[in-house]
Structure 1
Amino acid sequence: MLIASYNAAGMGDVLVLLTAPKSEKTTSEQKGHVVRLLNEKQETIGFNILNASDHLATAEMDGQVHLDEAQVATLNAVLKQNGFEPELVADVAPKFVVGYVESAEPHPDSDHLQVTTTQIDGGETLQIVSGSPNMQAGIKVVVAKVGAMMPSGLIIWPGALRGVASNGMIVSGRELGLPNAPQQPGALILPDDYAEVGTPFDAKSPEAQALFQ
């Protein structure tokens, strides 16, 4: 997994790379222009690439950055040049996809959560715990897969809600930043003919932007 972000206004010329969730006790180690981030077990959870514009074209970068294999190869070379193992692996799979809720069952330890089985791309199904009041079986939704970064900056990691594993998030139009989306809680339910299950979902596409028009 590789999640990249760049915010020149807020952090300067620094490319932030995350490969695992942040821990409560994160430490760092700097060599040259690279800062390695470690968890309490001294495992790598990411890197900060300083002076990122020396290595990548950053002029158009703002927020999450989708790195291709050539860019990741460049960053691995930067790691090696600065004394770190070149351990980055490109992750080009789409993180927001059209999903289909096959089943939605009450959570065993909550009166407002439901445990869904949701189909995504490649015929894969995920167990996703949802608190959306309109959650039900038989609907098309947008799934933020593990490794997705929401417009708010929230990163989706594997987790558990009240003891039940959840791998991904079924999102609302508001969470996706869609124009005129309802502000109250509730999953974005897509029209049946919107797109095939597993299709990448682009919140900036004309089709997505028109969902609440």
Structure 2
Amino acid sequence: MSALVRSANRTAVNLEQYVAADARFAADISHELRTPLMTMLNSMELIHNHRDELPAAVREPVELLGEDLERFRRLVVDLLEISRDDEGDEGSRETVRIADLIRAAADAAAGRPVTEVASDAAVLSLKADKRRLERVVANLVENAEGHGGGCERVSVAAGGLGAIIQFDDAGPGVPIADRDRIFERFRRGGSGGRPAQDRGIGLGLSIVARHVAWHNGTIRVEDRPGGGARFVLELPA
């Protein structure tokens, strides 16, 4: 029995060391990628500003390259976010006005106004880690934009645990069998109907689930009235 216990303890220690090394590796790689990525993004922006001067045959490949670079940027951001949590970032809580934070993060992620705030939530405050909560909102909006046919609306209201934030998209919705699995790390999918290989590597929604749990909140996906998916985020006020 003692030999079995020692073996189990060694396995646990080795596993802990492996997880720590894996987290450091992801963090190191992500940081190394940031500088060349910013160079590529800046160069692409310059090309995009002069796209009318490009030959017609070149414009489509340039647009496709720009889309791939944007997916690459989101991947690096997600890897950095994952590595922070895996390395034990405890974060910090401060009082925030939830409607203001949601509006700023959602509208910025969508690139247009998409947020509606109910009167009962206009001055609602809660204790939150701003970075984590902004990443939750951005990932949910980007999921709707990239996989759900576009973000239709983000609504903020009082209720439930304190605040209820709904993210509506225009896609085909999420099958009931997938509604829990889509929040798992590396689970490919989203609220779209495209093939699984065309939906990224499955980090965005897992980050959402982790950050929501950090706030003692809940996240679920359901059908949107009229079609599409609705992600419902509840946070304690």
TM-score after normalising by structure 1: 0.29
Higher strand proportion: 1
Rg larger in structure: 2
TM-score after normalising by structure 2: 0.27
